[in-house]
Each structure stands twice: as structure tokens, then as C-alpha cells.
Structure 1
Amino acid sequence: MNTTIALIISVVIAFGITAGLGFIIIPWLRKLKFGQTILEIGPSWHKSKQGTPNMGGLMFIVGIILSFAATCITVHLTGGSLESEYSALLNGRELVLLIAGLVLALGCGLVGFTDDFTKIKLKRNEGLSPKQKTLGQLIMTVGYILTLWLSHNTSWYVPFIGTVNFEKNIFTAIIFWVLSFFIVYGCVNSVNLTDGIDGLCSSVTTTVAIAFIVIGFIQNFTGLKIFAGAL
């Protein structure tokens, strides 16, 4: 299958499922009064957002999972490959890393879902405590980095230096874990900083998804394009 067609299929399925679920989930959440409580300390115009349904991210999570799975299965059944032209260098580990990234995203989404559900259940603006959120994010971050380490995907290309293998000794291993932790954990929380009541997260996600689609075309990495398209 042509990779561009696979990308289009991924985008169409994700959009269709998410939009379709929106007509079902949003009215259902409103009926259950699963709405956002606006703090008094915020701007006065935020009050108009009172009651905006929480947990709407369920639509996107389901859309991403089903779109990614359906498109990957379609590509496989039509004899296509989900890996890139560099797959030989990773000995078939690309898909493992891709799925690990999906699990990381879904795991962090689960933390957010639990946070929203707690707000609704307890009828307050604050959901999980900072410690609880941090613990959930730490578990997902460490699990993802451990997957990278166990799959020996520890070589990075550093501009002006070249490819660096962080498995050479204990010192480079520590550098790998520290840098990976700050990058992954930082990216996870950067979404929290940009997300808001006016859909800021969607615009940021779209920008990042387009960037990864471009990278997928450059490396001819079908799996990455499908994943980014599903976002």
C-alpha cells in the first residue's frame, strides 16, 4: 500500500471516530453533569466556561487507538511494511519503540482521566494530588526509558559530534537515563502547561503531529506517519 494512502486512511479514521463519539460522549457527560468547575481566582470571562464537560479526551484516546490499529492491520494485509528504510539498523525494533510510545501516551492519558474523574466524583476543581500525578507520570516515563534501554536503542545523533552510543560504560549510561528522563518527563508536562479551556492542546498536538509526519516521509517510516496521522 502507498504510504500516503495509509496516512490519509489514518487521519480519516481518527477524525471520523473522534467526531462521531463527540456526538455521543459530550451530551452524555453533560447529562451526568461531568462539567468543569472554574476557580474564583481566574479571569471573569472564564466563568462562561463553567460546566464545560470533563473527560472529553476519551474521544481522542479511542480514536487514536482504533485508527492506529485499523490502519496498521490494513497495511499489513496489503503486503506493506510499517518500518522505515533504516529498519535493518534496528533489527526490527522500530515497531516495539513505536508501540512503546503509544503506551506512554495512553498511560499519561489515563493519569489525566483519573484526575478529571476525581474532580467530578468529589465535586471539586482539584483532582489527583501533585504527588499522585507525579507518581503516575514517573511510572510511565521510567517504563518507556526502560523499553529503550532493553531494546538497545541508546544511540543518539548529536549535531556537530556524530552518533553517540550511551551503552559504552556506566558514565554514559547515567547520562542516557538522566537526559531521557528530562526529555520525556518534560514533554509530558509541557502539554499540561499549554493545555487549557480553549483547546490549546489540540493546536499544539496538530503542530507536533505534522512535524512527525514530515519526519516519517523523510525516513520513509510508515508506522510513524500512521501514528502521527492518528493524533
Structure 2
Amino acid sequence: MGTAWAAVAAILSFGITALFGKWLIPFLHKINFGQTIRESGPTWHRKKNGTPTMGGFLFIAGILVAVGVCLPLYYRMEGKDPLVMAMHAKIAGGLLMACGFGLIGFFDDYIKVVKKRNLGLTVRQKLVLQFLVAGGYLYSLYRAGSGSKTLIPFAGGVDLGVWYWVISLLGIVGMVNAVNFTDGIDGLNASVTFFAALSFLAVAGILRIEPVSIFAAATAGGCLGFLIWNFNPAKVFMGDTGSLFLGGLVCALGFALNLPILILPVGIIYICEILSVVLQVSYFKATHGRRLFKMSPIHHHFELCGWSEVKICTVFSLVTVLFGAAAVLLAAFGL
């Protein structure tokens, strides 16, 4: 029964996301909510200047409706009360966290659009708000009865004590920003996150955690529906509204399975993206102006090496599939 509801959630999320674009994209054009392309980016990106942004609202709507419809129906069909389900608390809290990050992204996008620049909120403002959202989510898990014990493949349940909450707080904020850095070329973030969600869907299926299967399926469906509008050449960008929301979802899926450790292999591309930025900035400062990469995040480096946007999306997606499969195997044989 859980598999059927996961399929329904995926189809519903895909359909709402895809159809919503027929109205939202013309509306964003009408109110002139276009992306301002940074001057320091690849020169050929300037032709994308003015492409509507905040398109993340497409899959935000699709995912929220799909989970909001399918999860309660699943509980009712199974004769379970969602109000007393700890898993429901994790998923509801995860969705609220993702929406919180998406709201931060919306503020950032709105400032960029209104002031016609590529910089919105300051780094300090973003981080303060992100830590508040992540901290609120972890507090909700604590209040729902989640302890500091986490599953680690081949090690079983490991109680990290207070360090669990510290590592989780830093990890969530770091991963959300890593997902944000992955949004730089047409279709990349949605493609990578689609396969990341499929990986979590497979793990949830192996562990028979049907509510998370529904959650992951809705995420995958929303990403796929968005790609109709965002694949090269993109008709709309997700903006920070969408990328920060997706970052929250990726973290929420890992925590809902009580396997946040699997976020590392599943999110290998996100990690490479943010590490490339850290390395580039550190090397630039240490060498007084020399660069380690032609440009960061790393997808821009490959662009300047001559790779097309479609090739980058394909290769990065395949890497996500490979490491996602490793995560699935860890769950299948290590737990």
C-alpha cells in the first residue's frame, strides 16, 4: 500500500509542478521578476539576464500538496493516527524546515529583483536565519521524542550525546548552502536532487518506512516536473527560494530515516560544489590572487573548460546515481 501511495505522490507532485508553470512563469514575466546575472560569471550567461526567478514556488506547491494529500490518506487507509506518529512529526517538521529555508531564499530573491542586483541578504543575515530554522527543526525532533542516537551502517545505533545536536545543526546549515551553490546552470540542481530523492526513496523502501517513501517520491516528482521548465534552455530559474527549500528537503529525508550519515554519499555533488568554493577562496587568499579553479563553484570550472550545460548536468547526475547506489547498498547490507 505504501508503494502505491508513493507513486500517487510522485505523479501528483509532478503534475502540479508542471501545470503550475503555465501560469506562474507568464506571471513572473508580467511583474518583471527576472534574474540579474552576476558580471563575474561566464560571459555567455548574460543572455539569461531577465529570465524569471523564484520558480522554486512550482515544486514547493507540488511537493506540499502531494505530501499533504497522500500522507494523511495513507495513515487513514492503514488505520493509523497521524497525530501520534513520531514519523509524521519528523516529516511535518522537515517540511516546515524546508519552507523556512525557502522563505529565507524568497527574501533574498526579492531583494535581488527589487534592487536589480545579484546580491540579496548579507552572508551574516542568511546564516543567522538559517541557524534559527535548523535549530527550530532539531528542537521539534527533540520534543517529539527523538534522541541523540543515530544509525550508522555496519555500526548500528550510535549515541553521540550532545554532539549529535551540534553536528546536526552545523551539518544542516552546511548542506543547505551546498545545495544552494549547486544551482548555477540550467537543470543542474533539479537533476541532481531528483536522483538524490530516488536514492532516499530506495532506502526507505528497503527499510519499509512508507511515510518517507511518500515524502521522497513527492520530492522526486516535483524536481522532474520543474525540469520541464528549467532544463536547458531554462524558461525559469528556481532562485534561492527553490534551492534553499530543496536543501531543507534533502536534510529532512536523511533525518526522517534516522540515517543523516547517508546525506554525505547521496549529496556528494553538493559537497563538491561547496568545497570547491571554500578551496578557491582559501587558495586565492593564501597565494595572493592565484586561482585553483578557473571559476567556482566547480560546475562553472567545467563550463570554462568547454563542457556544455547539458553535459555537466548529465555527468553530475550520473555521479549522484553512483554514490546514491552506494548509499542504498550501505542501507541494504549495513543495517
TM-score clears 0.5: yes
Following superposition, the deviation at residue 61 of structure 1 comes to: 0.8
For 1:140, the aligned partner's letter is V
RMSD between aligned residues: 1.9
Q: SS state of the match for residue 157, structure 1?
A: strand
Change (3 A) 1:53 1:197: farther
Task: Select 1:230's aligned residue among 218, 238, 256.
Answer: 218
The answer on whether the counterparts of 1:138 and 1:185 sit within 8 Å (CA) in structure 2 is yes
The answer on whether the counterparts of 1:10 and 1:67 sit within 8 Å (CA) in structure 2 is yes
Tell me whether 1:184 sits opposite 2:172 in the alignment.
Answer: yes
Identical columns (%): 39
Task: Select 1:158's aligned residue among 134, 140, 152.
Answer: 152
The answer on whether the counterparts of 2:89 and 2:141 sit within 8 Å (CA) in structure 1 is no
Tell me whether 1:130 sits opposite 2:123 in the alignment.
Answer: yes
For 1:156, the aligned partner's letter is T
Q: Per-residue displacement from partner, 1:73-125 (whole Å, max 9, x unpaired)?
A: 32234336599xxxxxxx83121112111111111111111111111122222
Change (3 A) 1:110 1:103: same
Aligned residues: 217
Tell me whether 1:210 sits opposite 2:210 in the alignment.
Answer: no
The answer on whether the counterparts of 2:150 and 2:157 sit within 8 Å (CA) in structure 1 is yes
Task: Select 2:139's aligned residue among 122, 142, 146.
Answer: 146
Following superposition, the deviation at residue 159 of structure 1 comes to: 4.5
Q: SS state of the match for residue 67, structure 1?
A: helix
Q: SS state of the match for residue 189, structure 2?
A: helix
Separation in 2 of the partners of 1:21 and 1:116? 20
Q: TM-score, normalised by structure 2?
A: 0.61
The answer on whether the counterparts of 2:2 and 2:211 sit within 8 Å (CA) in structure 1 is no
Change (3 A) 1:224 1:80: farther
Following TM superposition, the consecutive aligned residue runs of length 4 or more in structure 1 with deviations greater than 3 angstroms are 79-83, 158-162
**Please, which runs of 5 or more residues in structure 1 have no aligned partner?**
84-90, 167-171
The answer on whether the counterparts of 1:22 and 1:59 sit within 8 Å (CA) in structure 2 is yes
Q: How does 1:84-103 map to 2 (within 5 A)?
A: 92-103=85-96
Following superposition, the deviation at residue 192 of structure 1 comes to: 1.1
Separation in 1 of the partners of 2:4 and 2:44? 44
The answer on whether the counterparts of 1:81 and 1:222 sit within 8 Å (CA) in structure 2 is no
Tell me whether 1:116 sits opposite 2:115 in the alignment.
Answer: no
**Please, which runs of 5 or more residues in structure 2 have no aligned partner?**
220-335
